[in-house]
Amino acid sequence: MVVLSQPALEPFSVIKTCKPVGLFSEIPVIDLTDPHAKTLIIKACEEFGFFKLVNHGVPMELMTKLEGLANSFFNLPQPEKDKAGPPDPYGYGNKKIGPNGDVGWVEYLLLHTNPQILSQKTSIFQENPQIFRSAVEDYLLGVKRMTFEVLELMADGLEIESRNVFSRLLRDDESDSCFRLNHYPPCPELQALTGGNLIGFGEHTDPQIISVLRSNNTTGLQICLKEGTWVSVPPDQTSFFINVGDILQVMTNGRFTSVKHRVLADPLKSRMSMIFFGGPPLSEKIAPLPSLMAEREGSLYKEFTWFEYKSSAYTSRLADHRLGLFEKT
């Protein structure tokens, strides 16, 4: 990766690779109605920390409706959008990601999924607050229902006695989950100038338990395989892409991998993605599940609360290895 030298482009990073990044052709595809789904999910989470979900039961209309409204928001004049910012951390953000100097070719809305906190940020919803808010709520209702099912299949597949060991953390009224709408505008001039690919969202792992992404049909998402190779994930607007987050890696004592990923902006097409990040309540103590610690293995991590982990994440840079601070030496 190189950092651009032209002053106007200064803060943005480009990727210049010697060989083109390959397509992720062996991407695990899980059919939620398949009787073997739980076994396949475990395999995918162990190998990649990532899979694509089909036959998920979330109606396409919920996705297209919200995508349309999000497009209308991102098409507003800049001063209008700025009224919904800055993201602290919730609200509208443009190019700046997090509080520690990360930037990307992206604008976004970051919302808490707790309805009370969601409604406090009324400026996001513009003159039609009710229409946008109910589209977000309807979408999240469908996505959460599906996510609970996925998490329960994971617990089943791991042969954990209580099926709801993961899903209860998201079902909790105090669950600290959030929702992100990312808009990556096209960038033809910049691409021409740099000859590389502009970073939309730099490499990182997601701190939460699980992330559920749906995007339009524009490419950009890449994941990093265990041996360090980056691969492009072909977009599919009818499916969801599931990421294992840091907390799930800890709860499984490293059996599942929190997947490193990034997004490159497209020179010509805009990309829109909507991501639900399922997190536990702030006071929840996070530690590996006893049944997942191999005999005499012990925990690979120090115990911490989600509040402690999240606070530490917000003092880090996007690409930092956040779990490092919590690993036992």
> Rounded to whole angstroms, how far apart are CA atoms 14 and 202?
10
Minimal distance, residue 99 CB to ligand GA4, in Å: 7
- Catalytic option among 271, 296, 317, 322: 271
Contact present, 32 and 54 (Cβ < 8 Å): yes
Q: Which helix (H) or strand (E) covers residue 132, if one does?
A: helix 129-157
Tell me which of 170, 178, 223, 251 binds ligand GA4, using CB under 6 A.
178
The residue sitting closest to ligand GA4, measured at its beta carbon, is 98
> Rounded to whole angstroms, how far apart are CA atoms 275 and 289?
26
Phi, psi (rounded to 5 degrees) for 285 = -80, 130
Tell me which of 180, 214, 262, 271 binds ligand GA4, using CB under 6 A.
180
Minimal distance, residue 273 CB to ligand GA4, in Å: 10
Residue 246 engages ligand GA4 in binding (rule: CB under 6 A): no
> Rounded to whole angstroms, how far apart are CA atoms 21 and 12?
20
Tell me which of 222, 243, 273, 316 binds ligand GA4, using CB under 6 A.
316
Judged by DSSP in three states, 305 sits in: strand
Instruction: Single out the segment in contact with ligand GA4 by CB under 6 A; choices: 15-23, 162-170, 286-294, 311-319.
Output: 311-319
Residue 100 engages ligand GA4 in binding (rule: CB under 6 A): yes
> Rounded to whole angstroms, how far apart are CA atoms 103 and 325?
24
Residue 37 or 313: the one with the smaller Cβ distance to ligand GA4 is 313
What burial letters (b/e) apply to 284-294, b meaning 16+ CB within 10 Å? bebebbeebbe
Contact present, 169 and 89 (Cβ < 8 Å): no
**Residue 123 in tokens:** 């400026």
Residue 314 engages ligand GA4 in binding (rule: CB under 6 A): yes
Residue 265 engages ligand GA4 in binding (rule: CB under 6 A): no
Residue 313 engages ligand GA4 in binding (rule: CB under 6 A): yes
Phi, psi (rounded to 5 degrees) for 143 = -70, -40
Q: Is the peptide bond before 89 cis (omega within 30 degrees of 0)?
A: yes
> Rounded to whole angstroms, how far apart are CA atoms 27 and 234?
9
Residue 309 engages ligand GA4 in binding (rule: CB under 6 A): no
Contact letters for ligand GA4, residues 24-53 (x by CB under 6 A): ------------------------------
In sequence order, the 6+-apart residues with CB closer than 8 A to the CB of 173 are: 114
Judged by DSSP in three states, 87 sits in: coil
Neighbours of 319 (CB within 10 A): 14
The strand pair at 230-232 and 22-23 is best described as parallel
Instruction: Single out the segment in contact with ligand GA4 by CB under 6 A; choices: 131-139, 141-149, 199-207, 298-306.
Output: 199-207
**Residue 71 in tokens:** 């497009």
* Residues 205-224 within binding reach of ligand GA4 (CB under 6 A): 206-207
Instruction: Single out the segment in contact with ligand GA4 by CB under 6 A; choices: 28-36, 260-268, 294-302, 316-324.
Output: 316-324
Residue 102 or 152: the one with the smaller Cβ distance to ligand GA4 is 102
Instruction: Single out the segment in contact with ligand GA4 by CB under 6 A; choices: 56-64, 120-128, 202-210, 236-244.
Output: 202-210
* Residues 107-126 within binding reach of ligand GA4 (CB under 6 A): 110
Residue 266 engages ligand GA4 in binding (rule: CB under 6 A): no
145 belongs to the catalytic site? no
Query: Which residues are marked as active site?
Result: 271
Binding positions for ligand GA4, rule: CB under 6 A: 89, 97-98, 100, 102, 110, 178, 180, 204, 206-207, 277, 313-314, 316-318
